[in-house]
Amino acid sequence: MRRTLWMWLVFVLAIFLVAVLARKVDAPISSQAIGIAVLVLTLLFLAPAARGWGSQVSLAAWNRAGFLAASMYVGLALFAHHRALERLKRFAEFQQIHAEGVGALPLPPSLWHWDGLIRTARGVYELRMDLSEPTGIPGAGEAADASTTSIMYKYFPDAPGNRWIEQARALPEVQQVLWFDRFPVTRFRKEGGQSVVEILDLRFPQIRPDRPASFTYQVRFDAAGNVVAKGWLRD
């Protein structure tokens, strides 16, 4: 029983940790969802231990139940991913966006919350989606009040091209970064006498405003056009 309580406590604390991280990346989890998750974990961990029947179930039966639950979750996730991609493509068509690539990333623990990304020639669109709500896109074949729902999205444009960006993109290391990035955004700024080019992938959100997003690559040039520093940004 003591081991069960410790395991229950670890999983419950993990739920609250996930909720904190989700809030930091602008994907908050509702209090209702947190409460339901805690209740489900309580039933799964404590009910069998309190009644004593959990020890009477064979290990093989527990493994089969776990495999069945995992299979159901994967199936639901695949279905939700398909719906998220469909919604993202409808959004691109409605906004007349020439998409070079689309992707839907899950925002766990909810199966209905997804982060949609659309890569274009000059930047990346981001559309946060709740599949349990109307899209707000006319003609989507949903409820009659769907057209009154606002469409909230963000656009991250690339910096206008210049010699520094072209020179950075020509570096072998940057070419590898661009091969890895699915939704890259290029930024440029001046810092004193240096020119700074940064490339980040929107698949990896910025957790804290005082820290760079994960997998952000930076190249610094001096006034003469020489590379003075390059590499991944660290905290």
Q: Which residues on adjacent β-strands are paired with residue 198?
A: 187, 218
pLDDT of residue 17: 83
* Residue (of 181, 184, 191) closest to 221 by Cα position: 191
Q: Across the chain, how many H-helices and E-strands are there?
A: 5, 8
Q: Which of 102, 72, 89 is nearest to 182 (CA)?
A: 102
Average pLDDT over residues 229-234: 90
pLDDT band at 143; cut points 50, 70, 90: very low
C-alpha to C-alpha distances, 187 to 48, 138, 168, nearest whole angstrom:
55, 34, 11
Q: How far apart are CA 193 and CA 222, in angstroms?
A: 6
As beta bridge partners, residue 186 has: 199
- The confidence band for 89, taking pLDDT boundaries of 50, 70 and 90, is very high
CA distance 108 to 15: 10
**Domain map (residue ranges) of the chain:** 1-57, 75-157, 160-232
Counting residues of the chain whose pLDDT is more than 90, the rounded percentage is: 45
Q: Which residue has the higher pLDDT, 122 or 135?
A: 122
Query: What is the tens place of the pLDDT at every residue in 69-79?
Result: 889 988 998 99
pLDDT-based confidence at 138, cuts 50/70/90? low
Per-residue pLDDT tens over the stretch 22-61: 676 566 666 777 777 778 777 777 666 666 665 666 778 7
Give me the sign of the Cα torsion angle 30, 33, 7, 72.
Answer: negative
Residue 145 pLDDT class (50, 70, 90 cuts) = very low
Average pLDDT over residues 211-215: 83
Q: Is the pLDDT of residue 214 over 80?
A: yes
